[in-house]
Structure 1
Amino acid sequence: MMYWHLPINQKLKKKGLIDNTSLIIFAFSTVFYSRIFCSITNAPSILNLAHFAVVPFVLVVVLLTSPTKDRKQIAIAYSFLIGLFILLVVALASALWNHAGLINAIVTFMMLGEPFMFLLAISCIPMSAKSITRMKKWLIWSAVINFLLAAIQKPLIDSGQLYAEGLNGTDGCGGVFFVSGAGNYVSASVSVALTLYFFSNEKTFPLWMRITVILAAFWQILFSDSKQLLLAYLIGWGLLILLNFKDINKTIKLLIATIIVGYGFLWCVQNLEAFAAFTSWARPELYGPDGEAWYAKFYSVRSILSHYQSSLNWLFGLGPGHTVSRLGAWFLKDYWSILGSLGATTRPIGQEAMEFVNSFWLCYSSSLFSPIFGWAGIWGDIGILGLGAYLFLCYLTWQQFGLDNSLKVSLLAVFVLGFIFTQMEEPGFMLSLAYVLGLSWQKQRLRKQTEQATRLVQRQWIELL
């Protein structure tokens, strides 16, 4: 049986070193606050990459120092470690076959595997009620800060009082992710995911407060023009209904909620000017067999296939960072001064896709039609084997951490967003979601332990009587 040694943990506490819950909060903060910190202090942008070292370090510390005999925690640890190992092997094999740099494989592995590492680190800690409360408070205040910053940034940028590197108020209102090219999408995505968790799981707060939070997140979708986020969650909701079809009671409840929300949204689109932007997609001519929507969306798929030279490209792709992943499309370019010196390699596919986006009217009008999106990037870079390894980790997450409908719909929305843009490779969003999933799992674990202890005491009293 796997066991993480208690004596090591006790020695750390005696020395006054940071505890594992604090390490989790620190790792989350290096992702969540690094960009706004660099923007405010003019610190080197390399600090935005610190989380690539911090998260694996925290995972190793947690695995070595967290005492647990909980079979479920141990089983989760083994399964996730196997999945991460497979993903790493495939990334390395793809790099070797395609003559890509070793650093390409490492960065690709971290971009895809980091959220699962973080989730594993959270789930391995036998947290107390006090630790869970600390994590919850940090999460809630982080969500509030992100929203307030985004709401303040938009009018300041539009009025010229705040410079956002050439971005307007809509694209520049990135909250804690100010300034970055897709900061508005990432900030809004974080707000929606955390809001759904808050509304469904923090029922000690009054209903009016939880409804206000939902309305605030929806307002952020509007002022940040993150329409595709709403689409992803609506499709995710539909998928959840299909998945719950065997449970008639759940299906009926979800259908009723869908009808109410659907009619309310339709009324808003037809009667309120603030919702007029949502009609920009409602052009049937874009979606015909020869419609421009399909031409734009699958540009990168056609480009990737045109570069295949062997049947093994189907298995291993064209190499980590060599196609339209976040690494290939702009990360390598932005950090070439660092990655180039470490032996990074490139191919023109990603940059050609970026040029297509900037030149084709439909692509630069909405990221919904962007040919640069998560699933295409994973498949293009590391092939069907890499895609399979990533989906295996996604399956484990769904099975172990999809504890309620609010968490499941967020996971399904991530799946849909993978067909729209590169949110699956945005650490700020993905680690925030991992934080929520891990926190919910820890709360459930503690509740079950408390219930078991209570039943045991009751049984002992009955035996005594």
Structure 2
Amino acid sequence: MNSNNSQLIIKKAKSKITWTNNTNLIIFAFSTVFYARIVCSTFGVPSIVTQAHFLFIPVVFWIILTTAPTRDVQQIKLVYSLLSGLFLFLLAIVTSAFWNETGFINAVVSFMMLGEPIIFLIAIVSIPMSASSCLRLKKWLMWSALINFVLAAVQKPLIDADKLYAEGFNGTDGCGGVFFVSGAGNYVSASVSFAFALYFFNDKKNPLLIRLAALIAAFWQLLFSDSKQLILAYVVAWILLILLNSQDLSKTIRLIIGLLIFGLIFFWCTQNLEEFSSFTAWARPELYKTDGEAWYAKFYGVRSILDNFKSPLNWLFGLGPGTTVSRLGAWFINDYWSILGPLGATDSSIGKDALRFVGSYWLTYSSSLFSPIFGWAGIWGDLGLFGLGTYLFLAYLVWQNFGLDNSLKITLLSTLVLGFIFTQMEEPGYMLSVSLILGLAWHDQRLNKQRVYLQGHNR
């Protein structure tokens, strides 16, 4: 064997080892987010462990970014594009923190809460993943989604029968799957199941009956966890997708027909099946009049933010990261003050007041649909129009590069819609699950293109 052949074999071996190690790192990083809550609840581990991903994700990101041996020009361009968008968003957060004299740690945590899904997505697409590595990641995601669903399905009857303690939550609010026990665990768990089911259903390599079973199971979880907001989010996302495809007549017609069929079936179910009766609970027109209670409740936080604007520059830079109705400002800083306070964190009364309002007003504690604490208001209130614009630019980059089919587009659009309902865009368990789904779909497309090219080249 000559020296050139020996070097080639060693080089291939090193590349294979790097792929394998980097794939393991992605699995590890995802697991630190996905399984942290259930581990803490089951084994009595301190809750601070649920935030360990804020350390692990950047470390994994850095290792992969500096070791992944990719030479694909398109892959490199995509990574640099996402990094540029992420840098602009970081600049917006730092500028807001500097202008408003909020703590540096506020800026760090705010960036991680909102930017972590992009960091994780960049790590995934930086790897020149082989077909076997991609399949291994898919299997991990599949088993994780199944574990989440089974746990949620088991938790509900156990909690209702007082055989499982859920920190005061009933079977509906407490069935959080792998996110047991947390305040919005049922919504996050159902959201993960639904996003995975759509992705899995669109993968025609799997038998149709199994794909249908996954979709039905996810919808069943949506029902027994009473996650009504998901239906609203996906219906609105579907309508938005119709509008975005309006130039393609055939796609538009198919989407409209699909929406009409779903709408008719769903309406019949709400009128005839008790399991669907809760979906009509808020179908009360008087709530949504111009001066209705729904608008009063929903925009309580927005009014508080505007009342605290002291300068026109507040419109541009907000009131500072973690000072308004973001997840960080509403409860995270307060919950972890013993750690963040000594690090120089600053807080504000706006988020706390909004949280107290949620607990005292009948409409807001009855449904998170009317919560004044929600993603888009939090981003705008904390970071101003500059921060909001850079976050939307990141969303645009993700849409352009990862909205590869209608199922992924609907998931992306529904995530943006959920940002108007609650703090879903700051929930790491859900957002990193979506990032993994998007990254796997992107690698699938890349591998298919390579396969087609090689087949054509070998003819």
Aligned equivalent of 1:76: 78
1:205 to partner: Cα distance: 2.1
Q: Distance in 1 between matches of 2:323 and 2:21?
A: 40
The answer as to whether partners of 1:13 and 1:19 remain within 8 angstroms in 2 is: no
Contact persistence 2:19–2:130 (CA under 8 A): no
Instruction: Give 3-state SS (helix, strand or coil) of 1:281's partner.
Output: coil
Assess if the C-alpha contact under 8 Å between 1:198 and 1:210 holds in 2: yes
In 1, the alpha carbon distance for the partners of 2:67 and 2:342 equals: 36
Matches within 5 A, 1:183-198: 183-198=185-200
Distance 2:51 2:319 in 1: 25
Partner of 1:56: 58
* 2:3 corresponding residue in structure 1: none
| CA deviation map 1:60-94 (0-9, x unaligned) | 11111111221111111111111111111111111
Alignment of 1:124-139 (within 5 A): 124-139=126-141
Aligned to 1:165: 167
Q: Within 2, Cα distance between the matches of 1:18 and 1:30?
A: 19
Query: What code does the residue aligned with 1:239 have?
Result: L
Question: Distance in 1 between the 2:183 and 2:38 partners?
Answer: 13
Matched with 2:87 is 85
Amino acid at match of 2:252: T
For residues 308 and 7 of structure 1, the distance between their equivalents in structure 2, rounded to whole angstroms, comes to 64
User: What are the within-5 Å matches in structure 2 for residues 255-270 of structure 1?
Assistant: 255-270=256-271
Partner of 1:245: 246
In structure 2, the CA distance between the partners of 1:238 and 1:344, relative to structure 1 (3 Å rule), is: same
- Unpaired runs of at least 5, structure 2: 1-7
Q: Deviations over 1:165-189 (max 9, x none)?
A: 1111111110000110000000000
1:119-155 C-alpha deviation (Å, 9 max, x unpaired): 1111111111100100110011000000000010111
Show the counterpart of 1:437: 438
Percent identity, aligned pairs only?
65
Q: Is the 8 Å Cα contact of residues 18 and 67 (structure 2) preserved in structure 1? A: no
Q: Which moved more, 1:375-384 or 1:63-72?
A: 63-72
Is 2:301 aligned against 1:292? no
CA contact (8 A) 1:418 1:424 kept: yes
CA contact (8 A) 1:235 1:416 kept: yes
The alignment status of 1:36 with 2:42, answered yes or no, reads no
User: Which deviates further from its counterpart, 11-20 or 175-184?
Assistant: 11-20
1:342-353 to 2 correspondence within 5 Å? 342-353=343-354
Q: Report the equivalent of 2:274.
A: 273
Counterpart CA distance in 2 for 1:12 and 1:23 is: 16
Query: Mapping of 1:258-407 within 5 angstroms?
Result: 258-407=259-408
8 Å CA contact 2:288–2:294 kept in 1: the answer is yes
Q: Which moved more, 1:328-337 or 1:391-400?
A: 328-337
- The structure-2 alpha-carbon separation of the partners of 1:8 and 1:326, relative to structure 1 and needing over 3 Å to count, comes to farther
Residue 37 of structure 2 contacts residue 181 of structure 2 at CA under 8 Å; is this kept in 1? yes
State the Cα distance separating 1:55 from its structure 2 match: 1.0
- Amino acid aligned to 1:399: Q
Q: Measure, in 2, the Cα distance between the counterparts of 1:351 and 1:304.
A: 12
C-alpha separation between the residues in 2 aligned to 1:439 and 1:269? 36
What is the 5 A alignment of 1:166-245? 166-201=168-203, 203-245=204-246
The letter for the 2-side match of 1:137 is: K
Q: CA, structure 1 residues 140+17, in 2 after alignment: closer, same or farther (shift >3 Å)?
A: closer
- Is 1:26 the counterpart of 2:32? The answer is no
How big is each residue's C-alpha offset from its partner over 1:351-387, in whole Å with a ceiling of 9 and x where there is no partner?
1001111111111111101000000000000111111
Q: By how many angstroms is 1:340 displaced? A: 1.1
Give the equivalent residue in structure 1 for 2:143. Answer: 141
Code of the aligned partner of 2:96? S
Q: How far apart in 1 are the matches of 2:212 and 2:433?
A: 21
Whether the 8 Å contact between 2:317 and 2:384 is mirrored in structure 1 is: yes
Find the aligned partners of 2:269 and 2:319 in 1 and give their Cα distance.
Answer: 45
Q: What is the CA distance between 1:8 and its match in structure 2?
A: 12
CA distance in 2, matches of 1:312, 1:418: 24
- The alignment status of 1:416 with 2:417, answered yes or no, reads yes
C-alpha distance in 2, partners of 1:15/1:404?
Answer: 32
Contact 2:176 2:186 in 1 (8 A): yes
> Which residue does 1:461 correspond to in 2?
none
Give the deviation of 1:395 after TM superposition. 0.4
Per the alignment, do residues 347 and 253 of structure 1 end up closer, same or farther by CA in structure 2, a change over 3 Å counting? same
Whole-angstrom CA distance in 2 between matches of 1:453 and 1:222: 46
Change (3 A) 1:10 1:108: farther
Q: CA deviation at 1:96?
A: 1.3
Aligned AA for 1:264? I
Residue-pair matches, total: 452
**Contact 2:19–2:127, Cα closer than 8 Å, also in 1:** no
Q: Structure 1 stretch 320-329 or stretch 79-88: which is displaced more?
A: 79-88
The normalised TM-score by structure 2 is 0.96
Structure 2 counterpart of 1:93, which letter? Answer: T
Secondary structure of 2:202's counterpart equals helix
Residues 11 and 379 of structure 1: CA distance in aligned 2, closer, same or farther (over 3 Å): farther
Q: Tell me how far 1:215 sits from its aligned partner.
A: 1.1
Among 94, 97, 106, the residue aligned to 2:96: 94
Q: Provide the rounded CA distance (Å) in 2 between the counterparts of 1:182 and 1:176.
A: 12
Please tell me the residue identity of whatever aligns with 1:212: A
For the residues of structure 1 that align with 2:199 and 2:121, how far apart are their CA atoms? 16
Conserved in 2, the CA contact under 8 Å of 1:285 and 1:291?
Answer: yes
Moved more, 328-337 or 393-402: 328-337
Measured at CA, do residues 29 and 18 of structure 1 come closer, stay the same or move farther in structure 2, by a change above 3 Å? same
In 1, Cα distance between equivalents of 2:53 and 2:29: 7
